Amino acid sequence: HGDWENRRDRREARVYLYEHADFRGGVIVLRPGEFVENLARWSFDNGRIANDRISSIRIEGDAEVALYVHAGFHGEALRVDRDIRDLGAKFRGNLGFNDQISSVRVRFDRDDRGPGRGPDRDRPAAIDYDLVIRRAYQ
């Protein structure tokens, strides 16, 4: 039963990247194992280009997201494993991640036994190819 629960929790893990603070505006939904190398090539569900426009993040399930200020997973990075209502307010005084994100990588986190830890941490998990194809046609 525990193993089935663990698989179900992992399948249901999601990261929601929102265009505006307070989880408003357009959204991009990613699962652990998915990544976006360049947000300039992605749009929120409302059609707006997502590069340098992420302002809040919601996380469901066993996931962590790494946010980078440059495409290709370069530049200043921030790891998040909980909801952030306003990237501007939360990180005021630092580099500032509000409207600065250009690439993201989602992975499993909170389970030290899972693929989100250790030497395979950066290796993508199984990819949902149907989801990738659907997004390509959007």
Q: What is the pLDDT of residue 4?
A: 45
Instruction: Decide if pLDDT at 106 tops 90.
Output: yes
**Reported confidence tier of residue 90, pLDDT bands at 50, 70, 90:** low
Task: Give the tens place of pLDDT for each residue, 10-56.
Answer: 558 999 999 999 999 999 999 999 999 999 999 999 999 999 999 99
Alpha carbon distance, N-terminus to C-terminus of the chain = 38
Q: Which whole number is the average pLDDT over 91-118? A: 68
Q: What is the pLDDT of residue 91?
A: 56
